[in-house]
């Protein structure tokens, strides 16, 4: 039990980011970030195997990325909890220098030094490093944590993050949505009565949530996002631009050299960050290639307005998502009292200008975009078993439903359903007489099965027809399904990343092939999603 001055055993609040991870704890009811062993407040979410075979985590892993890109795993947050065959993973395979392979359950996994690791294992190494760091800093053993995830993560991704926590030796007390944690860091114990919008543009994901704050009650009204939109997409626009210009000048494809590409990636990100502070920079990468014994350099001036042009549509996409989220609740931009910024990419001046234009107010200063999620997670952790605790009312960000024989998804749990929450229905008869009843569960915004993420299947004897089945979301937004099995009695199952049954795989593959044919037949359609580096590589 907590004492008035703090817990005997602190519970950590962890923001497991695409680029960086931040950890916080609460002492005397004040949340603080735990510094890394290098004195920094963030730990790069990078794991690597050095050329000598040492496992590296954090800044040391990131710092050797240029010379050892194939053995440096970054951006794991975009892969964790996803199927190897999913579109997202297939696209990321061309972006990432390391090898992404299929794991034993059909999930995405990575190869590091010839060995296959699951993504929970990789993220678990980052979390394990944080655990050691925090134990050293706080000089006591720590076994519990609250870990944040994007609001837009589906059930598989949430389960995989929980698994990463377990592998790091934590009892994961709660998975909390990042924007909700940020809102907590902003509003905890301030007695506010406000409607706020949390705009979270991180390294790999965009999340937006609208919350009503009433004292220490934090009610999420609506949420939305894109797990494929973040700082790396901004970097990729600059990378494309550099590759294109270099090709025009020298007819050399720098994308073919992993080391050159890694140097360009680093240069592009550094230029982008500098352009937040100054209006002009030069991307300067001497001796990037050699032609007939002569060195070729990248020396390209880039201005803030050029960067704005290269990335304007990405910023627009975030506002389209914000508008949709507000519309879902019948809210107008002028009904937002405060805008809270989260995520490093939200520092971009263009983002801030557009926010002012859109909401008629400057975003709230004083909430640190890199730290607020970890601080909020720590506050939640600290209040978990206290009487005057905070009350969080969160919502489901992506609907959950069951597949129909026509390849569509019938919604069971709707988007923005308050959690914990549940819905029951009666089991339908089997598709074929005498066969078992098959319930295939999917999550996603589309009505089409192929565009959704497969969560799991339940097979029940035909005798279960007409019996009740209950879909329940717990406070972590994890799905539990309970039903009355005529052979085994009442059962409850939850889902972790698992392989798709062969019959479903085939149905999905057929449907994908059909939609690809339709896209190719459409005027101007080339059947691909997005352009960017991937588009360039394909064009090249």
d(CA 239, CA 244): 8
* Shortest spacing between CB 481 and ligand AMP, in angstroms: 33
* Shortest spacing between CB 141 and ligand AMP, in angstroms: 28
Considering the complex, state which of residue 152 and residue 442 has its C-beta at the smaller distance from ligand AMP. Answer: 152
* Shortest spacing between CB 446 and ligand AMP, in angstroms: 26
Q: Strand, coil or helix: what is 290?
A: strand
Q: Is the bond preceding residue 420 a cis peptide, omega within 30 degrees?
A: yes
* Shortest spacing between CB 500 and ligand AMP, in angstroms: 30
d(CA 50, CA 384): 40
Considering the complex, state which of residue 348 and residue 377 has its C-beta at the smaller distance from ligand AMP. Answer: 348
d(CA 69, CA 436): 49
d(CA 371, CA 136): 20
* Shortest spacing between CB 70 and ligand AMP, in angstroms: 22
Considering the complex, state which of residue 282 and residue 503 has its C-beta at the smaller distance from ligand AMP. Answer: 282
d(CA 381, CA 13): 6
| Alpha-helix residue ranges (DSSP H) falling in 329-463 | 349-359, 372-383
d(CA 449, CA 499): 16
Considering the complex, state which of residue 225 and residue 456 has its C-beta at the smaller distance from ligand AMP. Answer: 225
Per the CB < 8 A criterion, the answer to whether 471 and 423 are in contact is yes
d(CA 436, CA 458): 10
Q: What is the DSSP string of 374-404?
A: HHHHHHHHHHTT-TT--EEEEE-SS-EEEE-
* Phi then psi dihedrals of residue 154, to 5 deg: -90, 180
Q: Strand, coil or helix: what is 174?
A: strand
* Shortest spacing between CB 413 and ligand AMP, in angstroms: 28
Considering the complex, state which of residue 18 and residue 71 has its C-beta at the smaller distance from ligand AMP. Answer: 18
Residue in the shown chain whose Cβ atom is closest to ligand AMP: 231
**Integer angstrom CA distances of residue 461 from 200, 423, 455, 466, 487:** 45, 22, 21, 12, 8
Per the CB < 8 A criterion, the answer to whether 423 and 399 are in contact is no
Considering the complex, state which of residue 18 and residue 85 has its C-beta at the smaller distance from ligand AMP. Answer: 18
- For the packed helices 231-250 and 258-277, what is the interaxial angle rounded to 10 degrees? 120
d(CA 462, CA 479): 24
* Shortest spacing between CB 152 and ligand AMP, in angstroms: 14
Dihedral sign computed on CA atoms, order 283, 286, 289, 293: positive
Considering the complex, state which of residue 20 and residue 118 has its C-beta at the smaller distance from ligand AMP. Answer: 20
* Shortest spacing between CB 348 and ligand AMP, in angstroms: 5
Q: Which residues are catalytic?
A: 15, 77, 178, 200
| Alpha-helix residue ranges (DSSP H) falling in 178-299 | 178-187, 231-250, 258-277
d(CA 386, CA 383): 5
- Which residues lie near ligand AMP (CB under 6 A)? 17-20, 202-203, 231-232, 269, 272-273, 276, 343-345, 347-348, 370
- Three-point CA angle 438, 160, 224, nearest 5°: 85
Considering the complex, state which of residue 77 and residue 131 has its C-beta at the smaller distance from ligand AMP. Answer: 77
Considering the complex, state which of residue 267 and residue 343 has its C-beta at the smaller distance from ligand AMP. Answer: 343
Considering the complex, state which of residue 274 and residue 451 has its C-beta at the smaller distance from ligand AMP. Answer: 274
* Shortest spacing between CB 345 and ligand AMP, in angstroms: 4
* Shortest spacing between CB 357 and ligand AMP, in angstroms: 19
Cα 391 off chain centre by: 24
The DSSP code for 428 is: P
**Integer angstrom CA distances of residue 234 from 127, 294, 302:** 27, 32, 14
**Integer angstrom CA distances of residue 412 from 1, 151, 204, 472:** 38, 19, 29, 10
- Three-point CA angle 505, 501, 422, nearest 5°: 105
d(CA 48, CA 84): 21
């Amino acid at each position: 039990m907590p004492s008035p001055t703090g817990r005997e055993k602190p519970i950590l609040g962890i923001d497991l980011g695409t680029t960086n991870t931040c950890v916080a704890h609460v002492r005397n009811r004040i949340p603080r970030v735990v510094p890394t062993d290098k004195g920094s407040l963030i730990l790069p979410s990078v794991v690597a195997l050095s050329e000598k075979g040492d496992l590296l985590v954090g800044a040391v892993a990131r710092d050797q990325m240029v010379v050892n890109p194939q053995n440096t795993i970054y951006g794991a947050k975009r892969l964790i909890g996803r199927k190897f065959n999913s579109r997202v993973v297939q696209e990321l395979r061309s972006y990432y220098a390391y090898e992404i392979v299929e794991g034993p359950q059909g999930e995405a996994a990575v190869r590091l030094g010839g060995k296959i690791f699951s993504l929970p294992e990789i993220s678990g190494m980052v979390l394990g490093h944080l655990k050691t760091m925090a134990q050293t800093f706080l000089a006591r053993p720590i076994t519990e944590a609250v870990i944040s995830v994007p609001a837009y993560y589906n059930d598989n991704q949430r389960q995989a993050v929980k698994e990463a926590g377990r592998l790091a030796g934590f009892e994961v007390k709660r998975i909390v949505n990042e924007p909700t944690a940020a809102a907590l860091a902003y509003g905890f114990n301030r007695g506010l009565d406000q409607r706020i919008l949390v705009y979270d543009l991180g390294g790999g994901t965009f999340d937006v949530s609208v919350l009503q704050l009433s004292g220490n009650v934090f009610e999420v009204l609506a949420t939305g996002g894109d797990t494929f939109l973040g700082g790396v997409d901004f970097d990729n626009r600059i990378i494309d631009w550099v590759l294109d210009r270099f090709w025009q000048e020298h007819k050399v494809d720098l994308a073919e050299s992993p080391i050159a590409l890694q140097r360009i990636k680093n240069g592009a990100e550094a230029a982008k960050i500098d352009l937040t502070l100054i209006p002009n920079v030069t991307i300067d990468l001497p001796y990037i290639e050699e032609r007939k014994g002569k060195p070729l350099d990248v020396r390209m001036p880039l201005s803030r307005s050029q960067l704005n042009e290269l990335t304007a549509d990405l910023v627009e996409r975030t506002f389209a998502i914000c508008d949709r989220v507000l519309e879902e609740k019948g809210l107008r931009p002028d009904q937002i009292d405060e805008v809270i910024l989260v995520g490093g990419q939200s520092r971009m001046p263009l983002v801030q200008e557009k926010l002012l234009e859109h909401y008629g107010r400057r975003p709230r200063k004083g909430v640190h975009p890199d730290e607020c999620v970890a601080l909020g997670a720590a506050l939640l952790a600290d209040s978990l078993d206290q009487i005057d605790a905070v009350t969080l009312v969160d919502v489901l960000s992506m609907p959950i439903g069951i597949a129909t024989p026509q390849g569509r998804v019938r919604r069971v749990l709707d988007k923005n359903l308050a959690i914990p929450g549940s819905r029951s229905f009666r089991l339908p008869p089997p598709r074929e007489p005498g066969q078992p009843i098959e319930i295939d569960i999917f999550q996603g915004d589309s009505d089409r099965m192929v565009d959704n993420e497969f969560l799991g299947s339940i097979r029940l004897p035909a005798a279960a027809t007409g019996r009740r089945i209950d879909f329940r979301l717990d406070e972590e937004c994890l799905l539990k399904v309970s039903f009355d099995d005529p052979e085994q009695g009442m059962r409850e199952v939850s889902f972790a990343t698992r392989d798709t049954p062969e019959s479903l795989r085939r149905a999905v593959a057929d449907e994908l092939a059909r939609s690809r044919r339709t896209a190719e037949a459409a005027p101007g359609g080339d059947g691909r999603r997005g352009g960017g580096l991937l588009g360039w590589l394909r064009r090249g």
